[in-house]
Amino acid sequence: MVLGQYFDGKTAQAHDVRISFAAGGLSISGKQDMVGTWPYDDLTAEAPPSFRETRLRCKGKGTAAIVVVRDADFAAQVLAKAPHLKRAGNKVGGGLTMLLGWGAAIVVAVVAIYFGIGAAAGLLADLVPPELERKWGDAYATGLAGESEGLCAEPAGREALDRLVARLEDLAAAPHPLDVRVVDTNMVNAFALPGGHIVIFSKLIEKADNADELAGVLAHEIGHVAGRDSLRGLMQQIGVAAALGLVFGDTTGVDGSMMTQLVGLSYSRDLELEADRYAADLLTRAGIRRDGLVSFFARLDQEGPSTPLEILSTHPPSDERARLLANDKGGGPAMPADDWAALKTICGQSGDE
Amino acid sequence: MSDPTVAPVDAPPSPQARLSHDSTVAELVPMHLKFLALTLLTLGVYHFWARTHARRFLWSRTRLLDEPFVYLGRPVELLVGFVVAMVLVVAPVVVLNVVLLPQAEGDPDAGLMAGIAALSVVQAIAIPYLIFVGGYAARRYRLSRTAWRGIRGRQAGSAWTYGLWGMLYAMVTGVTLLWFYPWQRAKLARERLQNAWFGSLKFDCDVEGRDLVGAFAIMWFGIPVLGMILALVVGGLFAGLVAGGVMSGEIEGETDLNQAVWALQLLPLLMYLPLGLFYIIYRGHELRHVAKHTSFGEVRFEFTYGIWQYVGYAVGNIAILLLTLATGWIYVQRRQLKFWERFLVVSGDIDFAAVGQAADTGPRTGEGLAELFDTGFEIGF
């Protein structure tokens, strides 16, 4: 028998008790009244019994009641009767092998999730019916390049562009009818939205040296439409955000949004290369020189990065792109010189700045 | 086997007993790695187990008057709470943004527009409201799952009412050029603490807005002043560098200059520095005031840190979270407990025999909304 303290879970007062090992469990008795017997199997603790202090609770005995004993022999004896207390508190072992094991598990999990999201995004994108994709795309396109004053549609230029689009679209077998818009914006950019919408910024046409370069950009964007890449990118973004949110509990903070962007970038590099491959094939079949995209980007790169964030941009490594799109298949110009001149003035101003 | 000389557990409380916490970082590293690995492998489900195990561990290592705290919560309670919150809050937001809005672009009709309007209102008003509600409800859960000397804590009062006051005060703060903010904070602190119980013994708090207004003034004037000084110094330095570059010929041509102009656009980001610094300073002052005005029977609280010690503590927490990509919350929780151990003075006696267990065992599930919005606080006034 040992002496100990007992918190009965009724008041915060500590009571002196005597504790002994009975057949059915720990027998606890106090001055005034018998406390009872706690079965050995029902004993729980926040830490294993130790020579300094043993704190025990009992499942189902009013969850908060506690018995406290400071006695080394008692600790050893209670461990013998209730060996499960050795693991009380679920403390994680800190050995080197354990640490390395958990570290390896983290790496495996991150890799699995990364590829899992990529694959799942593709599957999910396939599940979205084209009509729904078209609707989403329409909403985006109206928002980004609506019937506002920014839309460029000088008739001669528009017709020239339409002829080029038609020439490529006939061979493209894209899942959506193409809708190519030119928007008057002072940025060099072009992008594909869900549902076959392609937006080209006027500054890009201005910067292009010849129609082949524009055709290269256009074929690349048609590649994105054919791969339903915007949709896939959207799904990936949702997937990455959801994964980060679940794991880190926070996607709104700096960490979250930064990581979403970085992970998204690494996915889109793959998609960009895929679009390049598609463009190479499409241009060849259309009988157009296929190095327009390369020469265009090479010239832009020479002019230097236009923004500090350019390093993070989604362009694939240029040597890989150059290899894919090298002009080794011949081919002619993308459009007659008249058409190109007309296209340069699609926004109404003179093309030679 | 008995040893009658074993020291009694119930040594009389010392007049200036402090809180103590004795976990070590070396114990937490394997926990952190295990939690992270299992959370990733289970696509986040293990998060609730990690939270619970961490609390059980940290609570058991934290003692007040030499008695440790006991955490009674179960992981599945957190999981269920989260799922419920997810369904209630995220579902309407997803329906609105992914299904209804794109559809309305195609063909707007009256019924659809009404649905969109209703859901937009939910998004704009309900979410900030639910952040207040969630924070309060999480407190209720945590207190009900925290026992000391066999007695559970308790948070009475209505989370929904707390949320309404929170929104109302926030609006007043907005229209008073923020000058209502100290009163907002004081009123909400009182609302929280006057409803906090340990069994049948109630906490009390009489902090007033005027106690915090000095600290607030430092923030209100400090942010723009330091911001302008920073802008002048950095802007001047930058302009000098560019001018020097142009003269020495290192910067030439439109492109280089464009780059310089681009870098200039990053200048406003500097505002985050004074913003963060003065906010932390304010919070340091506020915590001291709230603690000083909080009582618990005969017990009084006082923080003894200097304000720069608090700044160092808060910046350290932010650094840990950034460096561990927010997965290192367990170290931050330990740091908070160590900070309290070092600086929180708890004085006065409690008549333990008079403190009874409350019948109320607290909510069945916990913290869903708070998890969702990451209100962040775990332990506190």
CA B73 to chain centre: 20
Separation of alpha carbons B80 and B115, rounded Å? 28
Three-state DSSP state, B266: coil
Q: Which two tokens stand for residue A28?
A: 């606890």
pLDDT band at B194 (very low <50, low <70, confident <90, very high): very high
Full DSSP string of A254-302:
HHHHHHHHHHHHHHHHHHHHHHHHHHHHHHHHHTB-S-HHHHHHHHHHH
Separation of alpha carbons A178 and B169, rounded Å? 52
**Helix, strand, coil percentages, rounded to 5, for chain B:** 65, 10, 25
Give the pLDDT of residue A264. 62
- Which of these, B263, B313, B258, lies nearest to B283 by C-alpha position? B313
Q: Tokens 């157009």 label which residue?
A: A288
Give the pLDDT of residue A210. 86
Q: State the sign of the Cα–Cα–Cα–Cα dihedral A333, A336, A338, A341.
A: negative
First to last CA, chain A: 100
Choose among B2, B4, B322: nearest Cβ to A255. B322
Q: Which residues of B touch A57 (CB under 8 A)?
A: 70
A89 with B103: Cβ contact below 8 A? no
B327 touches chain A (CB under 8 A): yes
**Closest CA–CA distance from residue A288 to any residue of chain B (Å):** 32
* Pairing, β B299-303 against β B344-347: antiparallel
A252 touches chain B (CB under 8 A): yes
**Closest CA–CA distance from residue A15 to any residue of chain B (Å):** 9
**Closest CA–CA distance from residue A125 to any residue of chain B (Å):** 14
A135 with B106: Cβ contact below 8 A? yes
Nearest CA in chain A to B7: A70
What mean pLDDT, rounded, does chain B reach? 85
pLDDT, one tens digit per residue, over B36-49 is 999 888 888 898 99
Separation of alpha carbons A83 and A79, rounded Å? 5
**Closest CA–CA distance from residue B328 to any residue of chain A (Å):** 9
Separation of alpha carbons A126 and A139, rounded Å? 20
Q: Which residues of A touch B41 (CB under 8 A)?
A: 105, 108-109
| Cβ-contact A321, A202 below 8 angstroms | no
Helices A211-226, A155-172: axis angle to 10 degrees equals 50
Rounded to whole angstroms, the maximal C-alpha distance in chain B is 91
Q: Which residues of A touch B377 (CB under 8 A)?
A: none
B39 touches chain A (CB under 8 A): yes
Helices B25-41, B47-60: axis angle to 10 degrees equals 160
Q: Which residues of B touch A254 (CB under 8 A)?
A: 322
Position with higher pLDDT, A256 vs A120: A120
Give the pLDDT of residue B69. 94
pLDDT, one tens digit per residue, over A38-66 is 999 999 999 999 888 999 999 876 678 99
pLDDT, one tens digit per residue, over A170-181 is 888 888 889 898
A10 with B356: Cβ contact below 8 A? yes
A73 touches chain B (CB under 8 A): yes
Separation of alpha carbons A295 and A216, rounded Å? 10
**Closest CA–CA distance from residue A134 to any residue of chain B (Å):** 10
A247 touches chain B (CB under 8 A): yes
pLDDT, one tens digit per residue, over B58-105 is 999 999 988 999 999 999 999 998 888 888 877 777 777 777 766 666
Q: Which two tokens stand for residue B240?
A: 């000098």
Q: How many C-beta neighbours within 10 Å does residue A132 have?
A: 17
Give me the mean pLDDT over the A322-333 stretch.
74
Q: Which residues of B touch A91 (CB under 8 A)?
A: 27, 57
Nearest CA in chain A to B60: A46
Give the pLDDT of residue A146. 58
Alpha helices (runs of H) in B194-328, residue ranges in sequence order? 209-248, 253-264, 272-292, 307-323
Choose among A90, A108, A136: nearest Cβ to B53. A90
Separation of alpha carbons A83 and A286, rounded Å? 78
pLDDT, one tens digit per residue, over B326-375 is 788 899 999 999 999 999 999 888 899 999 998 877 788 777 666 655 54
A120 touches chain B (CB under 8 A): no
Give the pLDDT of residue B13. 45
Separation of alpha carbons A26 and A19, rounded Å? 7
- Which of these, B207, B198, B153, B208, lies nearest to B297 by C-alpha position? B198
Whether residue A233 has pLDDT greater than 50: yes
pLDDT, one tens digit per residue, over B312-337 is 999 999 999 889 887 888 999 999 99
Separation of alpha carbons A150 and A182, rounded Å? 8
In sequence order, which residues have a C-beta less than 8 Å from that of residue B241 and are 6 or more positions away? none
Separation of alpha carbons B296 and B294, rounded Å? 7
- Among A97-106, A149-158, B186-195, the minimum mean pLDDT is found in A149-158
Give the pLDDT of residue B7. 43
Q: State the sign of the Cα–Cα–Cα–Cα dihedral A41, A42, A48, A49.
A: negative
Q: Which residues of B touch A14 (CB under 8 A)?
A: 9-10, 149, 352
Give the pLDDT of residue A117. 85
| Cβ-contact A46, A89 below 8 angstroms | yes
Q: Which residues of A touch B263 (CB under 8 A)?
A: 308
A66 touches chain B (CB under 8 A): yes
Choose among A7, A254, A306: nearest Cβ to B258. A306
B315 touches chain A (CB under 8 A): no
Q: Which helix (H) or strand (E) element contains residue A128?
A: none
What mean pLDDT, rounded, does chain A reach? 81
* Pairing, β A14-21 against β A25-30: antiparallel
Separation of alpha carbons A287 and A332, rounded Å? 6
- Which of these, B379, B378, B365, B374, lies nearest to B141 by C-alpha position? B365
In one-letter notation, the amino acid at residue B351 is D
Q: Tokens 């600290």 label which residue?
A: B215
Q: Which residues of B touch A47 (CB under 8 A)?
A: 60
A57 touches chain B (CB under 8 A): yes
A139 with B352: Cβ contact below 8 A? no
Show which of residues 50-109 on chain B sit within 8 Å of chain A, judged by CB atoms. Answer: 53, 56-57, 59-60, 68, 70, 72, 101-103, 105-106
| Cβ-contact A277, A223 below 8 angstroms | yes
Task: Count CA atoms closer than 13 A to B192's CA, side-chain side.
Answer: 25
pLDDT band at A311 (very low <50, low <70, confident <90, very high): very low
DSSP at A327: S
**Closest CA–CA distance from residue B324 to any residue of chain A (Å):** 10
pLDDT, one tens digit per residue, over B133-171 is 888 989 999 999 999 999 999 999 999 999 999 999 999
- Among A322-331, B133-142, B180-189, B213-222, the minimum mean pLDDT is found in A322-331
A7 with B149: Cβ contact below 8 A? yes
**Does the ipTM exceed 0.90?**
no
A306 touches chain B (CB under 8 A): yes
A87 touches chain B (CB under 8 A): no
pLDDT, one tens digit per residue, over B252-280 is 666 666 666 766 777 777 778 899 999 99
| Cβ-contact A133, A193 below 8 angstroms | no
| Contacts of the segment A158-165: beta carbons below 8 A, 24+ positions apart | A158/A346, A159/A342, A160/A335, A160/A338, A160/A339, A160/A340, A160/A342, A160/A343, A160/A346, A161/A343, A161/A346, A163/A335, A163/A339, A164/A211, A164/A214, A164/A215, A164/A218, A164/A334, A164/A335, A164/A339, A165/A218
| Chain A interface, best mutation among B5, B9, B360, by max A CB count within 10 A | B9
Show which of residues 311-340 on chain A sit within 8 Å of chain B, judged by CB atoms. Answer: none
Does the global pTM surpass 0.90? no
B191 touches chain A (CB under 8 A): no
Separation of alpha carbons B230 and B252, rounded Å? 28
DSSP at A52: S
Helices A292-302, A254-286: axis angle to 10 degrees equals 140
Give the pLDDT of residue A76. 93
- What are the residues facing A332 on neighbouring strands? A288
